[in-house]
Amino acid sequence: MSPQAIADALDSRKAGQFVTVVINRKAHLRKQWEMLDIRKISRIQIQLSSYANRAPVKEAIENGTRDAPELPKHISHVTTLGNVRFWVGHNGKTYFPYPLIDTNTTSEYLMNGKPITVDALKAHCYCLASEFPNRPSKETLAERGQVPFVGVGVEHITAIR
């Protein structure tokens, strides 16, 4: 989707509302397997709020256990369309950044359009380790004054519900 299409889809949504985002992207493959057509289809829930406004982050900033969030180093600036925030990378790529809600998140992999299991992908060593990150729990992040977060390249977003 384009940034304008995303902004239009979210135009009537209110701050704090949960939204489902569907993502379809090429899996992160090892160099010798880059010619394969392996895709990851994810359905994630995000919250239309600022990362700094989420309770664990806000509390940690207020009590001085962490500093206010800063933009990642690969991001040059923030832009908005309507009430929707986007990041623009130094490389010109546009991202849709929002706090992630850990409920109702699903992912599936397709190889040449047919389902393939994560176990099969790992057994054949098709993917980079970054394809299957070992993320800290929501509780561990909260202890650090953080919340789950995602910055999705807009070109990978296929639907917003």
Contacts of 37 (CB under 8 A, 6+ apart): 26, 111, 112, 113
Q: Please state, in angstroms and rounded to a whole number, the distance separating the CA atoms of residues 135 and 123.
A: 21
The structural domains of the chain, with segments of one domain joined by +, span: 3-160
What pTM was computed for the model?
A: 0.88
pLDDT at 135: 83
pLDDT at 137: 87
Q: Where are the beta strands (DSSP E) in the chain?
A: 18-26, 38-47, 75-81, 84-89, 94-111, 114-116, 149-153, 157-160
Residue 132 to residues 104, 114, 115, 118, Cα–Cα distance (Å): 18, 19, 17, 9
Q: Please state, in angstroms and rounded to a whole number, the distance separating the CA atoms of residues 106 and 121.
A: 17
Q: What is the pLDDT along the chain (161 residues), one digit of tens a residue?
A: 999 999 999 999 998 999 999 999 999 999 999 999 999 999 999 999 989 999 999 999 999 999 999 999 999 999 999 989 999 999 999 999 999 887 678 999 999 999 999 999 999 999 999 999 888 888 899 999 999 988 999 999 999 99
Q: What is the dihedral of CA 70, 12, 25, 76, to 10 degrees?
A: -30
Burial 89-104 (b: 16+ CB within 10 A, else e): eeeeebbbbbbbbeee
Contacts of 35 (CB under 8 A, 6+ apart): none
Q: How far is the first Cα of the chain from the last one, in angstroms, to the nearest whole number? A: 13
